[in-house]
A and B are shown apart, each in its own frame.
Chain A
Amino acid sequence: MKHIKKRVCKIIDELITYFFVIGATNIDINLQEKEDHYKILLRGNYTTKDKSKIEKLVKYLKCDKQEEMEEYYWELAGESDVDTELTLVGMMTDNAEINISEDMIEVVLYRYK
Chain B
Amino acid sequence: MELQKSLSLKRKKDNDIKFVIIALYVFSLILFGFLMDTPQEIFKGIYNILIEKDILITDYIGIGGMGAAFVNSGVLTLMFIYILYKLKINFNGATIASLFLIAGFALFGKNLINVWPIVIGVYLYSKVQKEKFSKYIYIALYGTALAPFVTQMMFSTTASFLIRLLLSLLVGISIGFVLPPLSSYLVRVHQGFNLYNIGFTAGMIGTLFVSVFKSYGFAPDPRLVWTTGNNGVLSVYLYIIFLSMIAVGFYMNNRSFKNVKDITTYSGRLVSDFVMLEGFNPTLINMGINGILATSYVLLVNGDLNGPTIGGIFTVVGFGAFGKHPKNILPIFLGVFLGSLTKMWAINDPAILLAALFGTALAPIAGEFGWRYGVVAAFVHSSVVLNVGVLHGGLNLYNNGFAAGIVAAILVPIIEAFREDEV
Question: Cα distance A61–B7 when bound, in Å?
Answer: 14
Q: Which segment of A25-33, A38-46, A76-84 sits at the interface? A: A76-84
B16 contacts A by Cβ under 8 Å: no
Residue among A72, A80, A96 with most chain B CB within 10 A: A72
Question: Cα distance A17–B180 when bound, in Å?
Answer: 27
Interface residues on A, range: 35 or more
Binary per-residue interface labels of chain B (130-141) against chain A in the complex, 1 for a CB within 8 Å, 0 otherwise: 001011111100
Tell me whether A73 and B368 are in contact in the complex, defined as CB-CB below 8 angstroms, given that A65-B5, A79-B191, A87-B276 are known contacts: no
A85 touches B271 (CB 8 A): yes
B5 touches A72 (CB 8 A): no
A79 touches B188 (CB 8 A): yes
B1 touches A82 (CB 8 A): no
Contacting residues, chain A, for B89 (C-beta < 8 A)? 68
Number of A-B contacts (CB under 8 A): 108
B180 touches A64 (CB 8 A): no
Residue on A nearest B181 in the bound complex, by CB? A1
Say which residue of B1, B267, B276 sits within 8 Å of A98 (CB atoms). B1
Binary per-residue interface labels of chain A (86-104) against chain B in the complex, 1 for a CB within 8 Å, 0 otherwise: 0110110011111110000
- B321 CB to closest chain A CB, in angstroms? 13
- B244 CB to closest chain A CB, in angstroms? 28
B221 contacts A by Cβ under 8 Å: no
Question: Cα distance A99–B3 when bound, in Å?
Answer: 11
A74 touches B129 (CB 8 A): no
Contacting residues, chain B, for A72 (C-beta < 8 A)? 94, 138-139, 183-184, 187, 197
Say which residue of B1, B185, B269 sits within 8 Å of A97 (CB atoms). B1
A73 touches B129 (CB 8 A): no
Residue among B187, B267, B271, B272 with most chain A CB within 10 A: B271
B5 touches A94 (CB 8 A): yes
Q: Please count how many residues in chain B sit with their CB below 8 Å of the partner chain's CB atoms.
A: 41
B349 contacts A by Cβ under 8 Å: no
Residue on A nearest B269 in the bound complex, by CB? A83
Contacting residues, chain B, for A35 (C-beta < 8 A)? none
Question: Cα distance A48–B349 when bound, in Å?
Answer: 50
A83 touches B184 (CB 8 A): no
A83 touches B267 (CB 8 A): yes
Tell me whether A21 and B423 are in contact in the complex, defined as CB-CB below 8 angstroms, given that A87-B271, A96-B3 are known contacts: yes
- A111 CB to closest chain B CB, in angstroms? 12
Contacting residues, chain B, for A98 (C-beta < 8 A)? 1, 3
B271 touches A73 (CB 8 A): yes
- B101 CB to closest chain A CB, in angstroms? 14
B419 contacts A by Cβ under 8 Å: yes
Say which residue of A58, A61, A88 sits within 8 Å of B271 (CB atoms). A88
A71 contacts B by Cβ under 8 Å: yes
Binary per-residue interface labels of chain B (166-209) against chain A in the complex, 1 for a CB within 8 Å, 0 otherwise: 00000000000000100111011001100001000000000000
B191 touches A80 (CB 8 A): yes
Binary per-residue interface labels of chain B (119-157) against chain A in the complex, 1 for a CB within 8 Å, 0 otherwise: 000000000010010111111000000000000000000
Question: Cα distance A26–B92 when bound, in Å?
Answer: 36
Residue on B nearest A91 in the bound complex, by CB? B271
Contacting residues, chain A, for B187 (C-beta < 8 A)? 72-73, 75-76
Residue on B nearest A83 in the bound complex, by CB? B269
Binary per-residue interface labels of chain A (47-68) against chain B in the complex, 1 for a CB within 8 Å, 0 otherwise: 0000000000011111111111
- A91 CB to closest chain B CB, in angstroms? 8
Could you list 30 A-B pairs, sorted by A, with CB under 8 Å?
A59-B277, A64-B11, A64-B276, A68-B89, A68-B90, A69-B94, A69-B138, A71-B136, A71-B139, A71-B180, A72-B183, A72-B187, A73-B184, A73-B187, A73-B192, A73-B270, A75-B184, A76-B188, A76-B270, A80-B269, A82-B416, A82-B419, A85-B271, A87-B272, A87-B276, A87-B277, A95-B3, A96-B3, A99-B1, A100-B1
Other A-B pairs, 6, CB within 8 Å; known A72-B197, A82-B368: A61-B3, A67-B132, A70-B135, A73-B184, A76-B270, A85-B271
Across the A-B interface, the 9 shortest Cβ-Cβ residue pairs: A96-B3, A71-B135, A67-B135, A81-B423, A20-B423, A62-B3, A76-B192, A75-B188, A97-B2
Which of A's residues lie within 8 Å of B, judged by CB?
Answer: 2, 17, 20-21, 58-76, 79-83, 85, 87-88, 90-91, 94-100
